[in-house]
Amino acid sequence: MANSGINKHQVKKARDALVAKGQNPSIDAVRIELGNTGSKATIHRYLRELAEENPLHPGNKPAISETLGSLVEQLAAQLHQEAQELIAERETSLQATTDALKAQLESQQQTLASTANENQQLKARLADYEQLHKTSTADVEAQKILLGRLEQQLTDKGVLIAEKDNHIRSLEEKHQHAREALEHYRQSVKDQRDQDQRRHEHQVQQLQAELRQLNQTLSIKQTDLTQLNTANAELTVEVRQLRKASNDAGQQLKVAESKLLAVNEQYQTTTHQVVELTVVRDQLFSDKNDLSERLGLMEKSFKAIEIELVTVKTELAVKNQLLESLGNQFTLANQNT
């Protein structure tokens, strides 16, 4: 960057010193006399103003080659300045673009890492749901087996109850037959007594003997009746127990059916969740592929920008070499002049 701190007095002093030494006060010579400070355009402007102020001053009338050299140097300085500004602008824009791409790349990488983490979590949840589904299926099979056993037990209990009912009806029929027989026998005894009362007295002892025999038979029959009543009471208690067992079995069957229904509902819910998780996993895989493609495009764009930056720097180096070559040629021309 040229130093703009020089003034017209310093330029005049340097010019006069060169004239006093018998040297041509060119722009480069004045700049060297000033200690390589000040821009060539500023020095040229001050020299022109000094020449206009004192046109009779020796050495104020620059040669054509010097004027042409000054113009070339000004053009070179302007071109160099514009090139530097263009390079700075391109480097600033490129740096901003590079920073934005890097930030976007870091964000995409973070998003990709987060997506991969979520994918792993979903895989773990899916594995848990699959394990739960297997467990639920095993529970359903176990409940079905238990339900089958309970149904078989209920069927067996029903058959046993039917058999007991038939046995009870058979005992009741026997008891009824025994009562009818006893009533018929009592009626027969009464009729026989009436007949015996009208018979002769010599038949009284025979009747008494027969009565004793009949009493014994009646006692036996009453004993049998008591046993039948006892058996009937026992069978009644057993029937009550069987009915209670049947009711308990029915309650167990209802509980088993409720559990089976709940397991089936849980199975349906788990299946639906597995389907949803599968859809989410597929979507995540698709997002991951899209992110990978976008990352590839960003990397290609970044490489293209780097190539463009290298191209611009190369062009700048060529232009600088060209400007330096032109400056050297004009310097040699001035010295020869």
For residue range 268-288, list pLDDT tens digits in order. Answer: 888 888 889 889 889 988 888
Q: Can you give the pLDDT at residue 72?
A: 62
For 71, 167, 312, 322, the CA distances from 85, given in Å and listed in that order, are 21, 119, 13, 18
pLDDT at residue 98, rounded to an integer: 85
Q: What was the pLDDT predicted at 60? A: 46
52-66, 73-87, 126-140, 312-326 — which is least confidently predicted?
52-66
Quote the pLDDT of residue 295: 84
Residue 173 is given by DSSP the state H
Confidence of residue 70 (pLDDT cuts 50, 70, 90): low
pLDDT at 298: 83
Residue closest to 62 by CA, chosen among 70, 73, 53: 70
The predicted model scores a pTM of: 0.27
For residues 46 and 155, what is the distance between their CA atoms, to the nearest angstrom? 126
Cα dihedral: 81, 87, 89, 91 (round 10): -150
Could you tell me the pLDDT band of residue 1, with boundaries at 50, 70 and 90?
Answer: very low
Does residue 241 surpass a pLDDT of 90? no
Average pLDDT over residues 23-49: 91
Instruction: Please say whether the dihedral angle defined by the alpha carbons of residues 253, 254, 258 and 259, taken in this order, is positive or negative.
Output: negative
CA distances (Å), origin 275, targets 129, 136, 178, 269? 11, 17, 75, 10
pLDDT number for residue 12? 93
Are the C-beta atoms of residues 99 and 268 closer than 8 Å to each other?
Answer: no
Residue 23 has pLDDT above 70, yes or no: yes
pLDDT at site 68: 64
Most confident residue range from 42-46, 49-53, 148-152:
42-46
Confidence of residue 76 (pLDDT cuts 50, 70, 90): low
Better-scored residue on pLDDT, 150 or 239: 150
Cα separation, 190 vs 198, whole angstroms: 13
Burial of 20 (0-12, 13-18, 19+ CB in 10 A): exposed
Give me the pLDDT at residue 10, please: 92
Residue 289 has pLDDT above 80, yes or no: yes
Whether the pLDDT of residue 69 is over 80: the answer is no
CA 307 to chain centre: 40
pLDDT at 204 over 60: no
